[in-house]
Amino acid sequence: MSKFNIQLVTGIFVALGIAAFTYAAVNIGGVSFREQPSYTLKARFTSISGLRTGAVVEAAGVRIGTVSNIEFDPETYEAVVSLRINQNVPVQEDAIAAIRTQGIIGEKYVKLTPGGFDELLEDGDEILETESAVSLEELVSKYIFGGGSSSQ
């Protein structure tokens, strides 16, 4: 096989490989090379069990952003979650951020419910109304032991 053919075939191979990688990264992995304009909001939760960075932020079932960072605040014993929200989605001051599960054992995601105020949150602001993750075990124990009081 001549030098030219080897180079040609290898070139095709490399192109195919890079195309397949790009497909995996962009179409499936959800990487966007052209960073969508966005702003970041913070939200505090008493429990985020199972939420991880990269999880989806939804409003009305539509994806409007992602969880960009999760930190632990040792003073208040709360989880501080950074939400990267698309620039064109306004979030009101009294909007509610809730951690929900897709189906009964599915992925955790953050659900944003719009508020009624006119004041909008800006980059770096905090969403004050939050609902923490509801864990299946707690629900079950509440149901079984009734009331879920710890003195039981």
Partner 1 sequence: MIKALETLGATVLESLEMIGRTFNLLLVTVWEMLQPPYRFYPIVRQMYFIGARSISLIVISGVTIGMVLGLQFYYILERFGSTDLLGSGVALGVIRELGPVMTALMVVGRAGSAITAELGIMRTTNQIDALECMAISPDKFLVGPKVIAGILSVPLLTHIFDFVALFGGYFVGVVMFSVPEGSYMNGMVDAVQWVDVRLGLVKSLIFGLLVTLICAAQGYYMHLTKAGSQGAEGVSFVTTNAVVLSSISVLFADFLIGALLQ
86 neighbors 56 (Cβ within 8 angstroms): no
- By beta-carbon proximity to partner 1, the closer residue of 54 and 148 is 54
Mark residue 77 as left, alpha or beta (left: phi above 0; alpha: psi -120 to 50; beta: remaining).
left
- By beta-carbon proximity to partner 1, the closer residue of 37 and 106 is 106
Which stretches of the chain bind partner 1, using CB under 8 A? 3, 6-7, 9-10, 12-14, 16-18, 20-21, 23-25, 27-31, 54, 56, 102-103, 106-107
Q: How far is the CB of 101 from partner 1 (least distance, A)?
A: 13
Residue 127 token pair: 């969403």
- By beta-carbon proximity to partner 1, the closer residue of 3 and 152 is 3
Cα 151 from chain centroid? 36
Q: Exposure pattern of 125-137 as b/e (b: 16+ CB <10 Å)?
A: eebeebebbeeee
Q: How far is the CB of 126 from partner 1 (least distance, A)?
A: 25
- By beta-carbon proximity to partner 1, the closer residue of 14 and 139 is 14
Q: How far is the CB of 30 from partner 1 (least distance, A)?
A: 6
Q: How far is the CB of 145 from partner 1 (least distance, A)?
A: 28
CA–CA separation, 140 and 113 (whole Å): 26
